[in-house]
Every structure is written in structure tokens, then in C-alpha cells.
């Protein structure tokens, strides 16, 4: 899956994750080494160091998981697919300049990536710039 994402969106300079076993396995470490992608682990017990993921997980839980009583696996898959579709294609995101993730991805795939994307730093609440 990670290789497919790299092929679609390009190789990131770094991936940030928690220390879960799915992210510390030999397979992940080997993949990161082979792809020459730096892997950064947040400090144990410090989810605020990965604020974007924590924010997304909170939204998913509050807006979808806590609101739905899933009756079957197929029902859960459909509800999650619908929520993901809305999140990525219909809902503007302030950190993306009022655009949807889908709009930004289409721009990037056409080679029109912005030179700089400004994102908040989870630790200092200051802004930092990532150049493309």
C-alpha cells in the first residue's frame, strides 16, 4: 500500500507515526530503508506530536463511528466509504486554503503543486513551511 501511495503521489521526505507494532515491524523498516524515506516515531504517550492524525481520528470517531450502529461488516464498509468520500471531495479544509483534499491531489497530479504548503506545527502552534 505504501509503495502504491508513493507511485501515485510521490515520495515523502519523512513519515511520522506512533510506535505501534504495525509501524515498527521489520517489513516497514526495510521498506523505508529501500525507499530512502525517513521514518520518525513520536515519543511514547505524546499523541500531540502527531496532531494531524489525531485530529483526523477524532473527526472520524465523532462524526461517523460514534454516530452509527453498524449491523454488518458490509454496512460498516459502506458508511466509512461514504464518510471518506465526503471528507475528501465535498468538505473544504482550512489548511488546504478552502480546497478539498481531492482538489489538491488533482492539482499535484497535474504538476501544479504549490511551491510551499503552510501547516501548523503541533508542538509550538507556529507555522512551518514545506517546500515542494
Ranges 5-19, 86-100, 118-132, most confident: 86-100
Computed from CA positions of residues 94, 100, 106, 107, in that sequence, does the dihedral angle turn out positive or negative?
negative
Across the chain, what does the average pLDDT equal? 80
| Residue range 3-20: mean pLDDT, rounded | 85
Beta strand extents in the chain (DSSP E only): 14-17, 38-41, 116-120, 127-131
Neighbours of 50 (CB within 10 A): 19
User: How high is the pLDDT of residue 72?
Assistant: 95
User: How high is the pLDDT of residue 129?
Assistant: 38
* pLDDT digits 0-9 by tens, 35-92: 999 988 888 888 788 787 888 888 999 999 999 999 999 999 999 999 999 999 999 9
Q: How many residues does the chain have?
A: 132
- pLDDT surpasses 80 at 120: no
Neighbours of 38 (CB within 10 A): 11
Distance, in Å, from the CA atom of 19 to the CA atom of 43, rounded to the nearest integer, reads 8
* Cell 501547516 found at: 119
User: How high is the pLDDT of residue 132?
Assistant: 36
E strand or H helix at 55: helix 51-63
Beta strand extents in 18-123 (DSSP E only): 38-41, 116-120
Amino acid at each position: 500500500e505504501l509503495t502504491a501511495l508513493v507511485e501515485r503521489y510521490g515520495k515523502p521526505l519523512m513519515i511520522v507515526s506512533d510506535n505501534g507494532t504495525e509501524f515498527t515491524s521489520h517489513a516497514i523498516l526495510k521498506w523505508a530503508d529501500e525507499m530512502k524515506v525517513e521514518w520518525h516515531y513520536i515519543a511514547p504517550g505524546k499523541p500531540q506530536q502527531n496532531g494531524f492524525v489525531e485530529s483526523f481520528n477524532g473527526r472520524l470517531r465523532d462524526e461517523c463511528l460514534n454516530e452509527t450502529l453498524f449491523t454488518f461488516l458490509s454496512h460498516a464498509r459502506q458508511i466509512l466509504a461514504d464518510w471518506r468520500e465526503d471528507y475528501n471531495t465535498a468538505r473544504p479544509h482550512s489548511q488546504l486554503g478552502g480546497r478539498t483534499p481531492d482538489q489538491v491531489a488533482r492539482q499535484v497530479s497535474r504538476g501544479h503543486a504549490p511551491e510551499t504548503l503552510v501547516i501548523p506545527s503541533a508542538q509550538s502552534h507556529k507555522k512551518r513551511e514545506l517546500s515542494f
